[in-house]
C-alpha cells in the first residue's frame, strides 16, 4: 500500500515538474498540448492513440485575411518629373549610349547578359513623384512593354535614403503581374538592419564585399504592421508606367529617393550590386569600356540617380542627381531689386522690385524665396 502511494506521489511530482517545464520560456515553439494520463496503478501512461493528433495545417494553405483601411487615390496631384538616360537609340548596336557608372552603382543596362539584346521594359525613361495628405506617389515610365508578353514582367522598386548618407534605408519592391487597379499583392517593403547596403562606401564599388543588403521584410503583400503601407499599379492611362503609392509614414517628410527596374538578379539581399560583383564580373554596356563590355553578371537592370524631397540640397548628398549649371547669362539686376535674399516674404520682396518665385531645388514642400525679377 505504501509502495502504491509512493508511486502515485512520484507520478504526481513528475506531472508538476512537467507542468513547470512547460512554463519555462525558451526558443522551442509552442507545441500541440499533450494530455498525460496518470493511472492509479502507477503503470507508465499509454501513448495516446495516433488519431487524436491532428497536425496543424501549414500556414501557406491559410490565405491571410487582409483588411485595408486606406486606399490610394485614383488621380494624383501634378508630379515632379525627372529624366533617366535611355538606350532606345543605341539598342540596335547592342550598347548603352552612356549613363552607366559602375563605381557609383548607377546602371543603364536594359540588355540581356552577353548578347546585349534590348529590353524596353527595363529601360527607365522618366521617374516622377508627387504626394497628398497620406501618400507619396512614385511613377516609373519605361520605354516599352515586354515584346513577347505585351505587358511588364520586370521587378520595379523605389529606394529611400532617409538620413542622406547614401546607404539606402528602405526598398519598396514590386513583382509582376501588375494590374491597372491598386494592389498590395506582390509588393514588399525591405529594410537593412545592419546598414551594409552600399558597403563601406555608398559612392564606390567595394567589391568583393559580402554583405546581406536588404535583409529584413517589414511588409509583404499587405502583411505587416500597416496593411496599407505600399501599393502598386499600372497607370490606367499609360501601360508603360508603373505607379507606387507609399504611405508618408514610411519615409517621413524629408528624404532622398531613386527607382529601379530589374529583370536580372532581382535580389535586394545583394544590394548594392556594385559591391557584390567586381566590374570585371559585372561587365559594361558601353563599348568604349572595351575592358568590360558586354554586360555579364549584372544585367537586365536600370536605376536612377537620387532626388531630394522636403529639404534643400547642398549638392554634396551621396548619389544625388547632377544639378544643371545655369547656362543662360546672368540677368542684369533691375534698379530697385538689391540683394533679393534679404526679403523673406512675398510682400516685402515684390515691394522692393524683386520677384517672389518657387524654389526649384525643393520638391513637395514648396518653398518660395526672393530673387531678381
Ligand atoms: Ca534608362
Ligand atoms: Ca541611409
Ligand atoms: Ca559601395
Ligand atoms: Ca544588411
Give distance in angstroms: CA of 210 to centre of ligand 4.
10
- The pLDDT score that the predictor gives to residue 342 is 80
- The pLDDT score that the predictor gives to residue 337 is 77
| Structural domains of the chain, count | 3
Q: Is the pLDDT of residue 41 over 70?
A: no
- The pLDDT score that the predictor gives to residue 350 is 78
Assess contact for 315 and 325: CB atoms under 8 A: no
Grid cell locating 61: 494553405
Assess contact for 122 and 87: CB atoms under 8 A: no
Give distance in angstroms: CA of 212 to centre of ligand 1.
26
Domain assignment of residue 18, yes or no: yes
Instruction: Tell me, yes or no, whether 151 and 124 share the same domain.
Output: yes
Give distance in angstroms: CA of 213 to centre of ligand 4.
4
Domain assignment of residue 164, yes or no: yes
Give distance in angstroms: CA of 141 to centre of ligand 1.
10
Higher pLDDT, 25 or 267: 267
Instruction: Tell me, yes or no, whether 112 and 258 share the same domain.
Output: yes
* Cα gap 184→174, rounded to integer Å: 9
Question: Which ligand neighbours the alpha carbon of 198 most closely?
Answer: 3
Q: Is the pLDDT of residue 251 over 90?
A: yes
Give distance in angstroms: CA of 39 to centre of ligand 1.
76
Q: Is the pLDDT of residue 100 over 90?
A: yes
- The pLDDT score that the predictor gives to residue 347 is 80
Domain assignment of residue 62, yes or no: no
Q: Is the pLDDT of residue 343 over 50?
A: yes
Q: Mean of the per-residue pLDDT values for the chain?
A: 85
Grid cell locating 79: 508630379
Q: Is the pLDDT of residue 172 over 90?
A: yes
- The pLDDT score that the predictor gives to residue 1 is 46
Give distance in angstroms: CA of 205 to centre of ligand 3.
4
Give distance in angstroms: CA of 341 to centre of ligand 3.
39
Evaluate the omega torsion of the peptide bond into residue 177 and state whether it is cis, within 30 degrees of 0. yes
Instruction: Tell me, yes or no, whether 139 and 169 share the same domain.
Output: yes
- The pLDDT score that the predictor gives to residue 153 is 98
Give distance in angstroms: CA of 212 to centre of ligand 3.
13
Instruction: Tell me, yes or no, whether 25 and 95 share the same domain.
Output: no
- The pLDDT score that the predictor gives to residue 118 is 98
* Cα gap 21→280, rounded to integer Å: 57
Instruction: Tell me, yes or no, whether 148 and 10 share the same domain.
Output: no
Instruction: Tell me, yes or no, whether 107 and 249 share the same domain.
Output: yes
Domain assignment of residue 193, yes or no: yes
Instruction: Tell me, yes or no, whether 340 and 258 share the same domain.
Output: no
* pLDDT confidence band for 58 (50 / 70 / 90): low
Domain assignment of residue 73, yes or no: no
Q: Is the pLDDT of residue 367 over 80?
A: no
Give distance in angstroms: CA of 136 to centre of ligand 2.
19
| Segment among 38-52, 157-171, 240-254 with least mean pLDDT | 38-52
* Cα gap 228→253, rounded to integer Å: 18
* Cα gap 247→280, rounded to integer Å: 39
Evaluate the omega torsion of the peptide bond into residue 366 and state whether it is cis, within 30 degrees of 0. no
The fraction of the chain above a pLDDT of 90, given in percent, is 69
Give distance in angstroms: CA of 237 to centre of ligand 3.
38
Exposed/middle/buried for 187, CB within 10 Å: 0-12, 13-18, 19+?
buried
Higher pLDDT, 328 or 13: 328
Instruction: Tell me, yes or no, whether 355 and 281 share the same domain.
Output: no
What secondary structure, in 3-state letters, does the chain show?
Answer: CHHHHHHHHHHHHHHHHHHHHHHCCCCCCCCCCCCCCCCCCCCCCCCCCHHHCCCCCCHHHCCCCCCCCCCCCCCCCCCEEEECCCCCCCHHHCCCCCCCEHHHCECEECECCCCCCECHHHCEEEEEEEECCCEEEEEEEECCCCCCCCCCCCEEEEEEECCCCCCCCEEEEECCCCCCCCECCCEEEEECCCCCCCCCCCCCCCCCCCCCCCCEEEEECCEECCCCCEEEEECCCCCCEEEEEEECCCCCCCEEEEEEEECCCCCHHHCCHHHHCCHHHHECCCCCCCCCCCECCCCCEEECCEEEECCCCCCCCCCECCCCCCCCCCCCCCCCCCCHHHCCCHHHHHHCCCEEEECCCCCCCCCEEEECC
* Cα gap 309→291, rounded to integer Å: 38
Instruction: Tell me, yes or no, whether 183 and 120 share the same domain.
Output: yes
Give distance in angstroms: CA of 257 to centre of ligand 2.
10
Domain assignment of residue 68, yes or no: no
Give distance in angstroms: CA of 230 to centre of ligand 3.
27
Give distance in angstroms: CA of 254 to centre of ligand 4.
22
The fraction of the chain above a pLDDT of 70, given in percent, is 77
Give distance in angstroms: CA of 34 to centre of ligand 3.
53
Assess contact for 153 and 121: CB atoms under 8 A: yes
Give distance in angstroms: CA of 190 to centre of ligand 3.
19
Give distance in angstroms: CA of 274 to centre of ligand 2.
17
- The pLDDT score that the predictor gives to residue 148 is 97
Give distance in angstroms: CA of 221 to centre of ligand 1.
27
Q: Count the residues in the chain.
A: 373
Q: Return all residues near 198 (Cβ < 8 A) that are at least 6 apart.
A: 105, 166, 167, 168, 271, 272, 275
Q: Is the pLDDT of residue 66 over 50?
A: yes
Give distance in angstroms: CA of 94 to centre of ligand 1.
14
Give distance in angstroms: CA of 118 to centre of ligand 2.
32
Strands of 80-83's sheet in order across? 80-83, 124-131, 135-142, 241-247, 230-234
Q: Is the pLDDT of residue 10 over 60?
A: no
**Domain around 172:** 80-309
- The pLDDT score that the predictor gives to residue 32 is 41
Q: What is the pTM of this model?
A: 0.74
Mean pLDDT of 234-259: 98
| Segment among 27-41, 74-88, 227-241, 265-279 with least mean pLDDT | 27-41
Give distance in angstroms: CA of 75 to centre of ligand 3.
38
Give distance in angstroms: CA of 31 to centre of ligand 1.
52
Give distance in angstroms: CA of 360 to centre of ligand 2.
24
Q: How far apart are the first and last CA of the chain?
A: 109
Domain assignment of residue 369, yes or no: yes
Q: pLDDT for 192-242, tens place per residue?
A: 999 999 999 999 999 999 999 999 999 999 999 999 999 999 999 999 999
Instruction: Tell me, yes or no, whether 164 and 205 share the same domain.
Output: yes
Instruction: Tell me, yes or no, whether 27 and 160 share the same domain.
Output: no
Higher pLDDT, 56 or 44: 56
Assess contact for 200 and 354: CB atoms under 8 A: no
Q: pLDDT for 115-142, tens place per residue?
A: 999 999 999 999 999 999 999 999 999 9
Instruction: Tell me, yes or no, whether 8 and 90 share the same domain.
Output: no
Give distance in angstroms: CA of 98 to centre of ligand 3.
21
Question: Dihedrals φ, ψ of 44, to 5°?
Answer: -60, 140
Mean pLDDT of 56-68: 72
Q: Is the pLDDT of residue 35 over 50?
A: no
Question: Which ligand neighbours the alpha carbon of 202 most closely?
Answer: 3
Domain assignment of residue 70, yes or no: no
Amino acid at each position: 500500500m505504501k509502495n502504491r502511494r509512493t508511486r502515485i506521489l512520484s507520478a504526481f511530482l513528475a506531472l508538476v515538474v512537467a507542468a513547470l517545464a512547460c512554463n519555462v520560456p525558451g526558443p522551442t515553439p509552442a507545441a500541440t498540448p499533450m494530455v498525460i494520463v496518470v493511472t492509479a496503478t502507477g503503470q507508465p501512461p499509454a501513448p495516446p492513440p495516433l488519431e487524436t493528433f491532428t497536425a496543424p495545417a501549414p500556414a501557406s494553405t491559410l490565405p491571410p485575411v487582409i483588411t485595408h483601411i486606406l486606399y490610394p487615390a485614383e488621380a494624383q496631384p501634378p508630379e515632379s518629373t525627372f529624366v533617366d538616360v535611355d538606350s532606345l537609340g543605341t539598342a540596335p548596336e547592342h550598347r548603352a549610349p552612356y549613363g552607366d557608372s559602375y563605381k557609383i552603382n548607377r546602371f543603364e543596362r536594359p540588355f540581356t547578359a552577353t548578347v546585349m539584346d534590348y529590353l524596353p521594359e527595363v529601360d527607365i525613361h522618366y521617374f516622377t513623384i508627387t504626394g497628398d495628405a497620406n501618400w507619396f506617389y512614385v511613377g516609373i515610365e519605361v520605354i516599352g512593354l515586354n515584346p513577347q508578353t505585351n505587358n511588364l514582367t520586370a521587378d520595379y522598386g523605389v529606394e529611400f535614403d532617409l538620413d542622406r548618407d547614401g546607404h539606402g534605408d528602405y526598398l519598396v519592391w514590386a513583382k509582376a503581374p501588375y494590374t491597372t487597379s491598386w494592389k498590395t499583392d506582390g509588393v514588399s517593403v525591405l529594410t537593412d538592419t545592419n546598414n551594409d547596403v552600399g558597403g563601406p562606401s555608398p559612392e564606390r564599388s567595394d567589391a568583393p564585399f559580402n554583405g546581406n543588403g536588404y535583409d529584413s521584410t517589414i511588409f509583404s503583400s499587405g502583411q505587416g504592421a500597416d496593411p496599407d503601407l505600399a501599393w502598386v499599379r499600372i497607370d490606367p492611362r499609360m501601360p508603360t508606367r508603373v505607379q507606387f503609392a507609399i504611405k508618408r509614414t514610411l519615409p517621413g517628410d524629408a528624404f532622398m529617393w531613386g527607382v529601379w527596374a530589374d529583370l536580372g538578379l532581382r535580389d535586394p539581399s545583394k544590394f548594392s550590386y556594385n559591391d557584390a560583383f567586381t566590374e570585371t564580373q559585372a561587365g559594361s554596356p558601353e563599348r568604349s569600356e572595351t575592358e568590360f563590355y558586354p554586360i555579364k553578371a549584372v544585367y537586365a537592370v536600370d536605376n536612377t540617380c537620387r532626388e531630394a524631397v522636403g529639404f534643400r540640397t547642398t549638392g554634396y548628398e551621396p548619389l544625388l542627381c547632377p544639378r544643371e549649371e545655369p547656362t543662360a547669362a546672368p540677368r542684369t539686376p533691375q534698379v530697385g531689386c538689391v540683394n533679393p535674399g534679404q526679403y523673406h516674404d512675398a510682400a516685402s520682396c515684390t515691394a522692393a522690385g524683386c520677384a517672389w518665385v518657387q524654389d526649384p531645388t525643393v520638391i513637395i514642400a514648396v518653398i518660395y524665396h526672393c530673387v531678381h525679377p
